[in-house]
Structure 1
Amino acid sequence: MVSIIMPVYNTADYLKKTIENIINQTYKDWELICVDDESSDDSLKIIKQFEAYDNRIHLISQAHQGAGVARNNGFEISRGEYVIFLDSDDSFSINLLDVLYKNAIQTNADVVMCGCTIENNGLIKKVERPKSIPNGIFDISELDDSGFAQCGYFSWNKLVKRKLIVEYNILFQNLQSSNDVFFSCMVIYTAKRLLFVDESNLIIYKKGRDGNISSRRNPVNCYRAAEAIINRIPTDDENGIRKALYVMLVGGIYELRRTDNEELIKHFCEEIKQFVIENKLFSVNASDIQKYVASLYVNNSVQTKWWKENVIFKYELEANKEKILNELNEYKRFVLWGCGKRGKALLCFFLDNDIAIYGITDKDKSRAEQLKSELGLDTNVLDIDNIDEQTDLIIACNTELYSYLKRKNLAVDILDIERYCPLA
């Protein structure tokens, strides 16, 4: 049996469709435990209607305590051999459980993960297996720092063996946001057999919805999560601690970009700075990128808002320069698509390394014209129509744009520059 734990808070507009997605699953041996977090809309009423309709659906009500506590309470009464923690405002393919459970049984995996499709205010992004995550069965020793973080940032794409959670007493934190980071990272850290399924259509994750349990971001919570991970990992496991530091430092930048609350930002940066200094993160235990990011926290004031700039993007371009140049050497004529801040940084990188670029383009052609003028470029500003007839490679400035271009089925190769710059 698979136990589905679903925290619910004011998602009445989505909940009916979400539960119907579960009922229509091709895999039938499941139980759905909905934990209502004191919703003020019709969520509770909807759950009760489904509970009366299907005896596999169960309701728990709790005082408003957040998604972390809700997931823990749901797990406490669950019975499945495997457990998955799904969100109540997302959508799922009818074969989600079938694919994950069959892969778990066939490979005896402790954790089976999958990609997803992210919907964000009309924009769609396909998230597939990152290059840093191995194909087939693997464990923590085969993950680099980036791969560990990419596996561990959220819980809703993981089917987890109950035995693993119980044996290592892995619980969700009682935090308003980032409450699943500790749980997810620890199941990745403790699992002996991990598997990432190359499917991006099983879960449709709705990002940016106002009012959900974890919608109000607080970067300090990311720090608390990473701190708890570091405290749980044995002190002599330098590789494990380094991976947790990556979550703290780089995950912190991600959280900083998602909030404009100056008080929270200041508090978080002070916490990180103190941690970096007290724990001597400029020592040999930290990776080069961690030392660089740590120096940004220590040496830059909050007022500069350095995390909104392209300092990390530029650092990663330089760090991966040889790989990028080798890939570009395979093409005779390539075009950059995207002329915002990142496009400008990438063009400066090309100029600094004497890389001739055939053309630049953007949905807003005037931005491309303006950037060409600003940098004094000797290149073409191209129309996006029939662009695949003018080049043999398009360089996409971010993964969202890369996904968009792939869906257009252009007769040209497309390079996602974020493959070399995952932190940016």
Structure 2
Amino acid sequence: MGSSYYMVKISIIVPVYNTEPYLKQCLDSIINQTLEDIEVICVNDGSTDNSLSILEEYASKDNRIKIINQENEGQGFARNNGLKNVNGEYVLFVDSDDWIELNTCEALYKKVNELDLDMLFFCATRYIEDEDKYDYTFGDYNYSSLGGKFWNRIFTYKDVPNIFKVAVSACLKLYNTDFLKKSDARFPDNFFEDNYFFYYLFLKAEKVSIVENQFYNRRIRDDSTTQSGGRAFMDSIIAANQIIDVFKDNGLFEQYKNQLLRKKFNSNISRFFGINDSLKEEYWSKLKEDFKDYKKYYDEEKDSFYYIIVDFYNNLIKSKNYKEFIESESVDLKSRHDNIKEKYESLDKESNNKINALNEKNKDLEEEYEELEKENEQLNEEINELSKFKRDVLNSRSWRITKPFRREK
């Protein structure tokens, strides 16, 4: 498939940074794939633990593994470095603390060739490390927003009702290398780089499909970059703006403006509350500065936003400093809490009333059912009596004697 000649079927790019405890499980899941015609490009992003030693150990035993060393530049830079060195028809990304099912490459390669695709989506299982349990139901990783109607059929972004509910993770897609080259796709150097990369490609792809198999195992750990609430969260503002830029570049901003702004503002608020307390004021300052470029759009669309967004950004606009913002936000948080409590109590009361009404209705139906049962029993008794009477008549001597007179003339 494709116009170029490639040496292997799939290139698997694995950026590695200080994942010594998990790296062997990751590599074992890759080198033992049922499809052997693969290459494994491991980009060591300046690891300071024993990750490089593990890579070298595996590379000495399996010539499909290639190691690229670089200074610590981040995952996006490492993935780009890997992309420069691919020799496969298709590209798969695997994070070095995750692992894939052993038939992943074989199954995906078969499907992507069968449908001649630019991108193939597949599902994932979450492994929650602290609880040592698997979560097979996480909606984002199972593309539940697509409702199953796209399984094994070809589609584009135009067919998807809400493309902002589709999982953006680069690791949950198989990419056609020719398509990547033609699109000149690159990850940005900041964190949350998957967002930009996904929308950049999805808006260009002409043939996309999805399989429902959970081929990927995503490890959820508290110390990961996107879970820890550290300085990486600062990049979420940049990442949100990069998504908007992609839509502007494709002439789609006006069409998706409301959804884009919702996504941006929701993300900003979520990261503000998730970032470490020591970084909150700095993050607030960046939000305040960033909002200058979006106030016009905010004013145009705010009537359609949830009150949480409106309250937060109204406080952001009117606050002269962080202390003033926190004081206003605290008052609003209490007000929101009271509103939510009031709504909950109202809904709870309404729910109880409905339950009571249904119980009463159910009781009436049960009584009606019992009456019908009695009537049914009586009717059955009458039917049985009539059947018996009929049999008695048919077997009677008088019936037999009069038989000749009942014949048709």
- The Cα shift of 1:308 comes to 8.7
User: Which amino acid in 1 is paired with 2:265?
Assistant: L
* Bigger mean CA deviation after superposition, 158-167 or 54-63: 158-167
Shift of 1:162: 1.6
Classify 1:20/1:224 alpha carbon distance in 2 versus 1 (closer, same or farther; 3 Å): same
Match of 2:297 in 1: 280
Higher helix share: 2
CA distance in 2, matches of 1:307, 1:67: 38
Taking the aligned partners of 2:331 and 2:76, their CA distance within structure 1 comes to 31
Which structure 1 segments of 5+ residues have no match? 315-340, 360-378, 380-424
Rounded to whole Å, the distance in 1 between the matches of 2:290 and 2:331 is 15
What per-residue deviation string (whole Å, max 9, x for no partner) do you get for residues 361-416 of structure 1? xxxxxxxxxxxxxxxxxx9xxxxxxxxxxxxxxxxxxxxxxxxxxxxxxxxxxxxx
SS in 1 for 2:193: coil
What RMSD in Å do the two structures reach over aligned CA positions? Answer: 3.3
- Mark the CA change 1:86 to 1:310 in structure 2 (over 3 Å): closer, same or farther: farther
User: Counterpart amino acid of 1:156?
Assistant: C
Aligned with residue 207 of structure 1, among 211, 217, 220: 220
- The normalised TM-score by structure 2 is 0.69
8 Å contact kept, 2:121–2:173: yes
2:106 pairs with one of 98, 116, 125 = 98
Cα distance change of structure 1 residues 288 and 212 upon mapping to structure 2, 3 Å threshold: closer
- In structure 1, C-alpha distance between the alignment counterparts of 2:19 and 2:195, rounded to whole Å: 22
- d(CA) in 2 for partners of 1:109, 1:95: 19
Whole-Å separation in 1 of the counterparts to 2:346 and 2:224: 41
Q: Residues of 2 paired with 1:299 and 1:38: CA distance? A: 43
Aligned equivalent of 2:347, options 343, 350, 360: 350
TM-score (normalizing by structure 1):
0.67
The residue correspondences of 1:311-330 to structure 2 (distance < 5 A) are none
2: CA distance, partners of 1:138 / 1:255: 32
Report the secondary structure of 2:298's partner residue: coil
Offset at residue 87 of structure 1 (A): 0.2
Counterpart Cα distance in 1 of 2:111 and 2:75: 28
Residue pairs, 1:145-156, within 5 angstroms: 145=162, 147-152=163-168, 154-156=169-171
CA contact (8 A) 1:172 1:183 kept: yes
Matched with 1:270 is 288
Query: Which one of the candidate residues 236, 261, 269 is aligned to 1:245?
Result: 261
What does 1:82-121 correspond to in 2, within 5 Å? Answer: 82-120=90-128, 121=130
Match 2:158 to one of 129, 141, 145: 141
Query: One-letter code of the match for 1:56?
Result: R
Alignment of 1:53-202 (within 5 A): 53-120=61-128, 121-122=130-131, 123-126=133-136, 127=138, 128-132=142-146, 134-135=149-150, 136-145=153-162, 147-152=163-168, 154-175=169-190, 177-200=191-214, 202=215
> In structure 1, what is the equivalent of residue 363 of structure 2?
none
State, as a whole percentage, how many aligned pairs show the same letter: 25
Shift of 1:358: 6.1
Query: 5+ unaligned residues in a row in structure 2: which ranges?
Result: 1-8, 317-324, 360-409
Count of residues paired in the alignment:
324
Larger radius of gyration: 2
Aligned equivalents of 1:354 and 1:262: distance in 2?
39
Secondary structure of 1:205's partner?
strand
Report what 1:415 is aligned to.
none
CA spacing shift, 1:208–1:267, aligned 2, 3 Å: farther
> What residue identity is the alignment partner of 2:313?
V
**Distance (whole Å) between structure 2 residues aligned to residue 97 and residue 345 of structure 1:** 52
> Taking structure 1 as reference, are residues 353 and 211 closer, same or farther at Cα in structure 2, changes over 3 Å only?
closer
SS where residue 275 of structure 1 aligns? coil
Match of residue 23 from structure 2? 15
- Determine the structure 1 residue equivalent to 2:373: none
What CA distance in whole angstroms lies between the structure 2 residues aligned with 1:11 and 1:310?
44
User: Displacement of 1:352 after TM fit?
Assistant: 6.6
Are the aligned partners of 1:140 and 1:148 in contact in 2 as well (CA < 8 Å)?
A: no
Correspondence for 1:228 among 220, 234, 242 = 242
Matching residue's letter, 1:183: F
